[in-house]
Amino acid sequence: MVRVLVYLAVFACLAFGAVWLADRPGEISVIWQGYRIDTSVAIGAIGVVLLAFLVLLAWAVIRFVFGLPSAFSLSSRARRRARGFEAVSRGMVAIGAGDPVAAGRYTGEARRFVPNEPLTLLLEAQTAQLTGNRPQAEAAFKAMLDRSETRVLGLRGLFVEAKRRGDMAAARAFADDAVRRSPSLAWANDALLDFHTNAGDWQAARTAVERRAALRLADKAEARRQRAVLLAAEALEARDKEPERALAAALEAVKLAPGLTPAAALAGRMLSERGDVRKASKLLEAAWREAPHPDIAAAYLDVRPGDSALDRLHRAQTLSRLRPADPESVLALAGAAIQAREFQKARETLKPLLAGGASVRACLLMAELEDAEHGAAGKVREWLARATRAPHDAAWVADGLVSDHWMPVSPITGRLDAFVWTVPPATLGSPPQALDDVLADLDDSTKLIEVKAETVATVEPAAVTAPPAPKEAPKPMPAAPSEAGAAPARSESPASPDPARVETVEAPKPAEAADAPAGAVAVAAARDPAVPKPVIFPVPHAPDDPGPDEEPPSEPKKSGFRLFG
């Protein structure tokens, strides 16, 4: 619309000028080289316009003739540039498709047509990486350092190549240089954080976390959690050397992340050692509300040194009231009740866990309860056998690794805050280290046993209703009368483990391999077909069990098997 108005305005001006000249007639006389030209003003104006047009036309023709060589050169350069960028585009597609032959061909074309383009260097570097030519890739990335627009990209490529060949010092130098040149680079800041955490430089790692948070490379919640984890790691490291700094770091970590179990347990124990029992109790109770954990329970029960077992039971009841439905509350309360010799209360407390499928720790607590209350070696063996094939309890798991203690960095991937307190999956390839408490009395030869749900095949005691025929399992030898009231002789059948050996289990004594419980023998038999698998029969009383008709000993029997304490 605007253009139409402009055109109309121009035509109106021309028409007005023509009318103005027509209304004002006149004559023009030109005498030149003996010639006289007489004409009107309108014809003279038209002649001037035509003369100007002819001059402009001649000038354009002259410029075109003299500009032909440069025009041909420019057209050639444009065609070469277009072919070069087309080669770059097709080369990138070939790299994405994983075609090294096509990528190499297009790289050669791009190098021939557009050798000074940054994208040509990138294509050359990626083609070299695709074909496995590391020296050529590094040469391409080093060439990028000479250009300001590709310097950071070259540093990124050299960083990746240095990590691939295992040169962590060079990789760290490249990351440092990249952060100095461009502080907002996410990959460089993440790399520096990983380097600091893997080197154990917790203060430098905290600085890196704060820089990432300031640049908004990480959200506030993530940065807060990472600072808490780094403070907890610093506190654990300075626990013995600098207790003041360790306590301050642990308290700050708890403030940032109340549910961080290692920091809360350490802070609670250090406060209780200083005599600040009230503050330690409040801190541990708050941590228990956030995330119940056995370490929190142990620190809370030991918050006042020298307390009796009954006082510890009262504190366990306090924890149970804070999280009554949590399995950790049940296990902590049952363990404290066994220590306080409140056996009936321990049984009632463990009933919900046993009804829903007893875990390893629940089975071990039942074995401890049977040993402490009745000294029933048969029941102890039964619960120990069930523990070897019971579902796993929660443990610290990170990147497929199960650990019995928390670590700030995953030893597999180097990732910060990788460990999570959860039930390990049943498909882990390595034996769970969290089960060391179950088999702590085994020696090095039996520690190779991997307790897995799909490999353990132990006979359920409750499934056996009657002993098999004498040909399949030898009967116990009849008790022979002995002199001076000696105990009757036991059967020496190799298929039945000695039940008396269960009472000699003391955790942890790895050297006493011969005193391994029957459950561990059953696991070894399940994994090695050459080992005879023991069959456990339900008996009314174990050979060393006094039975209900005999008087119990005057003093309570001290058990060597304990899960707590």
Dihedral sign from CA coordinates of 297, 303, 304, 306: positive
Tokens (6 digits) for 496: 């039945």
Q: Where are the domains of the chain?
A: 10-66
Neighbour-count burial for 75-85, b at 16+ CB within 10 Å, e otherwise: eeeeeeeeebb
Tokens (6 digits) for 139: 């040469």
Q: What is the pLDDT of residue 261?
A: 94
Question: Which H helix or E strand runs over 103?
Answer: helix 100-113
CA distances from residue 215 to 172, 186, 193, 204, 537 in whole angstroms, order as listed: 20, 9, 14, 17, 67
The Cβ-side half-sphere exposure at 364, using a 13 Å CA radius, reads: 26
Beta strands in 1-95 (DSSP E): 27-32, 35-40
Contact, 156 vs 191, CB < 8 A? no
In 3D, which of 260, 254, 324, 340 has the Cα closest to residue 293?
A: 260
Listed as ranges, residues in the chain with pLDDT below 50 are 429-565
Rounded distance, CA 46 to CA 24, Å?
15
User: What amino acid is encoded at 14 in this protein?
Assistant: L
Q: What is the pLDDT of residue 485?
A: 35
Contact, 174 vs 162, CB < 8 A? yes
Contact, 531 vs 446, CB < 8 A? no
In 3D, which of 274, 275, 271 has the Cα closest to residue 287?
A: 271
Threshold 0.85, pTM exceeds:
no
Neighbour-count burial for 400-438, b at 16+ CB within 10 Å, e otherwise: ebbbeebbbbbeeeeebbbbebeebeeeeeebbebbeeb
Looking at 165-305, list the stretches that DSSP marks H as alpha helix, in order from N- to C-terminal side. Answer: 168-181, 186-199, 202-214, 220-237, 243-256, 261-273, 277-290, 294-301
Contact, 88 vs 117, CB < 8 A? yes
Tokens (6 digits) for 6: 């402009």
Question: Which H helix or E strand runs over 23?
Answer: helix 2-23
Rounded distance, CA 125 to CA 61, Å?
48
Q: What is the pLDDT of residue 357?
A: 79
Q: Which residue, chain included where needed, has tokens 């109770």? A: 285
